[in-house]
Structure 1
């Protein structure tokens, strides 16, 4: 039997325990450079990844020793990283799409509120998301994080703040080192490849228990909060829901979650993909966005009147979504593959309708109490850059409020029975984005010109590839 410890007498002095500053206990974020140095030193961090999202949402940046990071070293990237395609090519200049003549540097400014560890690295490593400014310290308007901040500023001018909650779907697939071969689901713990029809199946999630444990573990280490995780309709298709909050913070979380999930999957010898349509004849992957707007001073939901009824702003927000989101679809469905998801009978809306608790509509109003009244945008695909998707969606709703756009009556039945009310391909979507004059008010001309130029360049690289469909049906028949 273990010896019983003698209890402390009242007169016995209790040893003082050093108080750990909150800045050192936090998994994510510090207030200033002094706290950053303490935070890094307490964790024995050796290297820092200074990253920022490019137009595709790919992390770009630099890695450096901790000592260099905390010595106020200037960080810079060439402006050209915001003008190349997802395949790394640089489109030809046009009248509106131009390169910076000198390809001069843009400066990285670390946002210390995003500082966190990189839990999958073997050496102690941290990461921080950076904003982009020019040599004069002015925010570069066409970068994704700054664009979303611009939208937030437009709401703030009215005394408002948007609140969002993204839901991100993705597939787990077996490793594939030859792009000519189709993707297929990986084997789970049962030793068999999971099949479709597993929507909300706990057994489907349990097939990948160890991987999901790593996702939770990596997320906790970075201070990322998962609300729920479910199995979706497709084989080995999962969905992670994030808690509602500030759009910048939530875009940062999606940006980091994508990286986290990919790394966790690689640890288990499989891929995680956020392609909108990775597997033929299976449902695509979406990034649904729940949106509301609150008054900054009172905290009250702008979509709700004092008596609990829907406000005019609520209906104008929906009207703006209906009017402008189809024209901003290139930011919500940014690749050729994205439009394979937006097809009839594929568990996604192909319309610009809205309705109460109607999942066939593009814009769904979930059942909620008056303070939680919100609008869910079901059009974005999971391949979208989260900063740009939120900017386009919130910007469209704001335009509706600014211009008092009236919505159509809510759809009571299925909204997917008629014709497709959306662009059917990337080129059409690009043209709609470019030709909508109202977008210059919220997105700015610089961003639109650069984004459209890059997307046209991506389409041209896609057109250089001959698909299996062409070889199957044209080779011997035409």
Structure 2
């Protein structure tokens, strides 16, 4: 009997479905916001799709997270009649869904014209660039997320206020918390193992009901899929246990934001080892690593929309909340945007600390890696290393990050480096989708505005 993670081909995919006697399987794909969409399909439809691809309405790439249709993109829309987008099922993505008994899940990727404007297509483009340069990219992502003793019905009835946190107070890395709630922690660990996005670590973080996970390192494209699956099924697991998980960058002004830090390293494809490690250099930073960090520093302000993709993202990017506001770098410095972590030949890496939990891992990885590769190609040199508290030091204007989603979208769509790395079609489409998001926000009146202006103005 085949196991899901042993599936490597179309023939294997068909075989495991037959062995399990399944009449239906679940297929999905991640949209540009990192939301997994999909459906159950019959065995016959699934086999036909494996042999010749399948289609989904292009609305998936032409609407926001509330299913509102973009009015400012050229790829799809009323002007084109919302035709189908073509997708390919990825046989080797086969996984069990522990919550659904014997059910199997297969991930997909957009192909053809749709690939040019999709997050998965963009990351594949960057991975191919790295391979052509002689590198394999290895990545790991850490997520912080809040848990609540709430349901989708209760949070709406409360208008998302006065919610009951899973735990109380700030008990970072508490053994008390992980032991008292060990049954649920174990459910998370078990799910991660069974669905093949294993965790290197799981612990309580700072804040009421906050957990942090570190996904075990893997090649970058596999890490993007694993991170996106973890976010999706962590929410499923929570709701199955009468709880809710949120990956918003900042759900309350009273608590810290939620990060999605990215660790990256390069290894030579010829098997000769780390491209980042040189024992003869300061902090063991090879010339290649130095150029990589320089590229990340130089283009981080232009690529911020890919890493901080929501209105809410910018509520987190304020001084003093463990989130950087400028494209600084330092060695083992958690106040900088880029944290060089000296280590062994196997562990030498750079942590990309601007990432937030709400980002699409396909996009944030592509941005972090693409900027670094561009730095290597251009042989860029990083600015002065930051020591001490980066928040207390004045930085050049060129290093300042955008302060809003609108500004970030403008920086992205005017970036020549972004167009070269990610393609004109993607940059145009994604920047327009972020402009749409900001326009939607401006249509609404917030509680803050009412409290600020209702009576006194």
TM-score (norm 1): 0.88
Q: Determine helix, strand or coil for the equivalent of 1:163.
A: strand
Q: Determine helix, strand or coil for the equivalent of 1:219.
A: helix
Q: Which runs of 5+ in 2 are unaligned?
A: none
**CA-CA distance at 1:339 after TM superposition:** 0.7
Tell me which of 122, 125, 129 is aligned to 1:147: 122
**CA-CA distance at 1:306 after TM superposition:** 7.2
Q: Determine helix, strand or coil for the equivalent of 1:410.
A: coil
Per-residue CA deviation, residues 271-316 of structure 1 (Å, 9 max, x unaligned), is: 0111110122211111110011111012411112475742211111
Residue 295 (str. 1) matches residue 279 (str. 2) = no
Q: How does 1:149-188 map to 2 (within 5 A)?
A: 149-175=124-150, 176-178=155-157, 180-182=159-161, 184-187=163-166
**CA-CA distance at 1:197 after TM superposition:** 1.9
Q: Determine helix, strand or coil for the equivalent of 1:477.
A: coil
* 8 A Cα contact 1:27 1:222, kept in partner: no
* 8 A Cα contact 1:97 1:449, kept in partner: no
**CA-CA distance at 1:260 after TM superposition:** 1.5
Give 1 or 2: higher helix fraction: 2
Q: Which residue of 2 aligns with 1:359?
A: 334
* 8 A Cα contact 2:53 2:89, kept in partner: no
Residue 395 (str. 1) matches residue 370 (str. 2) = yes
* 8 A Cα contact 1:358 1:412, kept in partner: yes
Tell me which of 201, 206, 218 is aligned to 1:228: 201
Q: Which residue of 2 aligns with 1:345?
A: 320
Query: Alignment RMSD, CA only?
Result: 2.0
Asked which structure has the greater CA Rg, the reply is 1
Give distance in 1, aligned partners of 2:157 and 2:439: 22
**CA-CA distance at 1:354 after TM superposition:** 0.8
Q: How does 1:100-115 map to 2 (within 5 A)?
A: 101-115=80-94
Give distance in 2, aligned partners of 1:205 and 1:183: 24
Q: Which residue of 2 aligns with 1:42?
A: 19
Q: Which residue of 1 aligns with 2:60?
A: 81
**CA-CA distance at 1:38 after TM superposition:** 2.4
Q: Which residue of 2 aligns with 1:422?
A: 401
Q: Which residue of 2 aligns with 1:202?
A: 175
Task: Count how many residue pairs are aligned between Structure 1 and Structure 2.
Answer: 444
Q: Which residue of 2 aligns with 1:373?
A: 348
C-alpha spacing 1:354/1:74, structure 2 compared with 1 (3 Å): closer
Give distance in 1, aligned partners of 2:441 and 2:179: 38
Q: Which runs of 5+ in 1 are unaligned?
A: 1-19, 188-193
**CA-CA distance at 1:400 after TM superposition:** 1.0
Q: Which residue of 2 aligns with 1:61?
A: 38
Q: Which residue of 2 aligns with 1:319?
A: 294
Residue 464 (str. 1) matches residue 439 (str. 2) = no
Residue 336 (str. 1) matches residue 336 (str. 2) = no
Q: Which residue of 2 aligns with 1:127?
A: 105
**CA-CA distance at 1:434 after TM superposition:** 1.1
Q: Determine helix, strand or coil for the equivalent of 1:372.
A: coil
Q: Determine helix, strand or coil for the equivalent of 1:286.
A: coil
Give distance in 1, aligned partners of 2:198 and 2:232: 15
Per-residue CA deviation, residues 384-442 of structure 1 (Å, 9 max, x unaligned), is: 01101100110111111111221012211111124682211111111111111111111
Per-residue CA deviation, residues 168-191 of structure 1 (Å, 9 max, x unaligned), is: 11110232124734253434xxxx
- Greater mean deviation of Cα atoms: 42-51 or 125-134: 42-51
Give distance in 2, aligned partners of 1:106 and 1:91: 16
Per-residue CA deviation, residues 306-327 of structure 1 (Å, 9 max, x unaligned), is: 7574221111111111110121
Tell me which of 93, 97, 100 is aligned to 1:118: 97
Residue 51 (str. 1) matches residue 28 (str. 2) = yes
Tell me which of 216, 230, 245 is aligned to 2:189: 216
TM-score (norm 2): 0.92
Q: Determine helix, strand or coil for the equivalent of 1:438.
A: helix
Give distance in 2, aligned partners of 1:103 and 1:53: 18
Q: Which residue of 1 aligns with 2:10?
A: 33
Q: Determine helix, strand or coil for the equivalent of 2:444.
A: coil
